[in-house]
Structure 1
Amino acid sequence: MTTKKHILLYNSNEPLPQQGGMERVTDLLAKALLNVGYEVTLLCKYSNRLGKTYNAPTDILYLPGNKDNRRFLETLVIERNIYCIIDQTEGDIVGRFGIFRHREDFKSKVKLIAVQHNSTRAILDNYNLAFAKDFTQTRWGTLKQFFYDNVFLKLKYYHSVCLTKRLYRDLNTNYDRIVTLSSSFIEDFCFYCPKADRIKLFTIPNFNTFESCELTTAQKHVLFVGRLRNCVKGVNKLLRIWNKVESSFADWQLDIVGDGEDRDVLEMQAQDLGLEHVTFHGFQNPAPFYQRSRIFCMTSIYEGFGMVLTEAMQHGVVPMAFNSYGSVTDIIDDDINGFLVKPFDEKEYADKLVVLMSNEDKYTKMSRAAMTKSVTFSKEIIVEKWCNLVENL
């Protein structure tokens, strides 16, 4: 690295890794860019919601949160000689709800990179599932359910499509580069923004969370790690799937690591199903769970990338997921280093889970293949892509 360009890395939330995927990615990227010689400043709106101390790897600044945001950012760019801003939020720097409404309002000529962390098309394709609600137990439940499913959700869907088209148009107009996590997301972007400048669109996946890790001891544990929010993560589906296999594998355990708004509902569901080998561990460091598990189960309706899959694969834990969003096929090669399941076929999922739980040779082969595939997302490979992008703006 012959130059030391200064990069401003923006995320609305303080990038404490334990908060979630986007925060973890921001923290890891800041460290990686520093490590290869760039100057990096972190900028955010809010402190972390967990109330924990975030040990930032570099200077971290906070927007004043009022009409001074524009002046604050303009001054920051000038005083620190910022070369480019990596906006992790899809338009919080420049956009309809951004600090600046239009690119021309931002007087600085700083380069702008937007990063798309979500698979918007996967959300829209599965809209009824992602925003499902059950009114059947309430007064006038049948009528409310009919109105919600056939009127409200349809209107909400078309409104979301319109907002997506506008967002993508704005990103295409205001940003110098747009980074997606999968090449399939480039096609999705162009689907909603047919006039997109493809020269601006790049694919850079997330890199591995762990620089080194202990391989699984391959105990009879199936693992889920993530936020307990059914409309995104589908953990209620996982409990129904586990219900199909638990009685045949009494020496196996399902570990659910994470917390969220649906935890009480899920614990009640597990009780109602009579599940005896499920443990809700709450918010924990997932590393020890990866180190003892054999199989990782993702049941998400949609994801942007799904870092928990690559985290599991780094440890040799074989992943399973619904084939419900584009980037999952970049991570899992079906029947080679994991299993992909037709969305949202719980019987097929249970059948493939049984294969991994009962076939030792199959599991061993796929475990080794999973570790091999995880190298594809090594920090060195992915950071080189970031360096090439920054240097060629």
Structure 2
Amino acid sequence: MNGLMTTKKHILLYNSNEPLPQQGGMERVTDLLAKALLNVGYEVTLLCKYSNRLGKIYNAPTDILYFPGNKDDRCFLETLVIERNIYCIIDQTEGGIVGRFGIFRHREDFKSKVKLIAVQHNSTRAILDNYNLAFAKDFTQTRCGILKQFFYDNVFLKLKYYHSVCLTKRLYSDLNTNYDRIVTLSSSFIEDFCFYCPKADRTKLFAIPNFNTFESCKKTAGQQYVLFVGRLRNCVKGVDKLLRIWNEVEDLFPDWQLDIVGDGEDRTILEIQAAKMGLKHVMFHGFQDPALFYQRSKIFCMTSIYEGFGMVLTEAMQHGVVPMAFNSYSSVTDIIDDNINGILVKPFDEKEYADKLVSLMSDENKYKKMSHASMAKSITFSKEIIVEKWCNLIENL
């Protein structure tokens, strides 16, 4: 891969949040990409706006700088690009450098001729297709609840949806105008981009998935654990759905446990929900290193309403943990081949999900076959394969 580079180019990798991996998927991806680009010979500087929200020390793999957070941000960036001879900026924030929410409003305002790469980490179309679920609220228990619910569902949400579609069209148009390359996580997202931006320059659009988190893995011990890893935010991750699914399963398998690893704003609500359901074999572990949980689990359950990629799926597959997910966003089929290396469920059919989970928990031979197939599929997302795609993109800007 080093042979791809004629000179040692300097890459500026921008993410608004400090890329402490425990914070979330985008931070983990940024940290991994910085390390990978350094390993193949690029110079890399990390740039962000905010320190991590967990209050932990981030051991950056290279220099990390922060915007001053005032009117000097433009001057700061222009000077940084010149002083460090930056070849290109990889913008992980989808328009945070140039655009209506960027440091510069228009490309011509950014006097530097540095190359710009925008990375899309989410499937906007999946969000919009499931808008009522993603932004659902329950007002029925409040005063005038029925009236409030009707107004929210039939007026507010529809206006919010229309506004989101218009904003998406403007954002994609800005990206198409201002950036030299636009990287999506799936070829299907290229079609989504063109759906909202029909005049998109397709030569700018590239699909590069996230690469595997772990360098090497111990295969799961295959103990009787079902696992969830992620942020506890129901309107995105659908963990409330997972608890309802587990409620249909738990009594049939009293020796199994559901591990929920992660934290978030809905943790208390979910713990109350589990208690009201009388669930006896659910453990909330908070923020933890998920590796130990992957190593002991058999099945990984994702119940997300939408995702960009879903790194937790490939993390599980690296360990031979069989993944299950709703077929609710297009890139999930890049990862899971249904009934071969994992299981896809019609969105958002909780009964079908429970039935398929019961079937997998009941059939040891099926589990073993899928476990081996999931590890084999994870090789598709090896760092070597994916980083080569990044090198080719950077060298051909």
Q: Same fold (TM over 0.5)?
A: yes
* Mapping 1:182-331, distance limit 5 Å: 182-331=186-335
* Mapping 1:325-340, distance limit 5 Å: 325-340=329-344
Work out whether 1:90 is the aligned partner of 2:94. Answer: yes
Distance in 1 separating the partners of 2:217 and 2:376: 14
Distance in 2 separating the partners of 1:148 and 1:275: 32
1:369 pairs with one of 368, 373, 384: 373
What SS does the aligned partner of 1:108 have? coil
Work out whether 1:75 is the aligned partner of 2:79. Answer: yes
How big is the shift at 1:355? 1.2
Moved over 4 A (4+): none
Distance in 1 separating the partners of 2:7 and 2:289: 37
Work out whether 1:119 is the aligned partner of 2:119. Answer: no
Distance in 2 separating the partners of 1:352 and 1:164: 36
Distance in 1 separating the partners of 2:7 and 2:324: 43
What SS does the aligned partner of 1:82 have? coil
How big is the shift at 1:133? 0.3
Work out whether 1:355 is the aligned partner of 2:359. Answer: yes
Q: Deviations over 1:244-280 (max 9, x none)?
A: 1111111110000011111111011111111111111
Work out whether 1:107 is the aligned partner of 2:111. Answer: yes
* Mapping 1:89-168, distance limit 5 Å: 89-168=93-172
How big is the shift at 1:192? 0.2
How big is the shift at 1:213? 1.2
Distance in 1 separating the partners of 2:350 and 2:221: 28
How big is the shift at 1:97? 1.3
How big is the shift at 1:26? 0.2
1:15 corresponds in structure 2 to: 19
Distance in 2 separating the partners of 1:216 and 1:104: 52
What SS does the aligned partner of 1:361 have? helix
Distance in 1 separating the partners of 2:393 and 2:63: 23
Distance in 2 separating the partners of 1:246 and 1:51: 36
Distance in 1 separating the partners of 2:265 and 2:64: 30
Distance in 1 separating the partners of 2:50 and 2:284: 29
How big is the shift at 1:200? 0.1
What SS does the aligned partner of 1:261 have? coil
What SS does the aligned partner of 2:213 have? coil
How big is the shift at 1:227? 0.5
Distance in 1 separating the partners of 2:142 and 2:305: 26
Distance in 1 separating the partners of 2:328 and 2:26: 20
Q: Deviations over 1:93-146 (max 9, x none)?
A: 000011100000000100000000000000000000000000000000000000
What number of residue pairs does the alignment pair up?
393
What percent of counterpart residues are identical?
A: 89
What SS does the aligned partner of 2:87 have? strand
Work out whether 1:384 is the aligned partner of 2:361. Answer: no
1:169 pairs with one of 162, 173, 189: 173
How big is the shift at 1:3? 1.7
**Unpaired runs of 5+ in structure 2?**
none
Partner AA of 1:283 in structure 2: F
Q: Deviations over 1:321-353 (max 9, x none)?
A: 000001100000000000000000001101110
Distance in 1 separating the partners of 2:347 and 2:107: 40
What is the CA RMSD across the aligned residues, in angstroms? 0.5
Partner AA of 1:256 in structure 2: I
TM-score scaled by structure 1? 1.00
**Unpaired runs of 5+ in structure 1?**
none
What SS does the aligned partner of 1:281 have? strand
Distance in 2 separating the partners of 1:15 and 1:303: 19
1:34 pairs with one of 34, 38, 60: 38
What SS does the aligned partner of 1:109 have? coil
Distance in 2 separating the partners of 1:18 and 1:306: 15
Distance in 1 separating the partners of 2:8 and 2:56: 32
How big is the shift at 1:25? 0.2
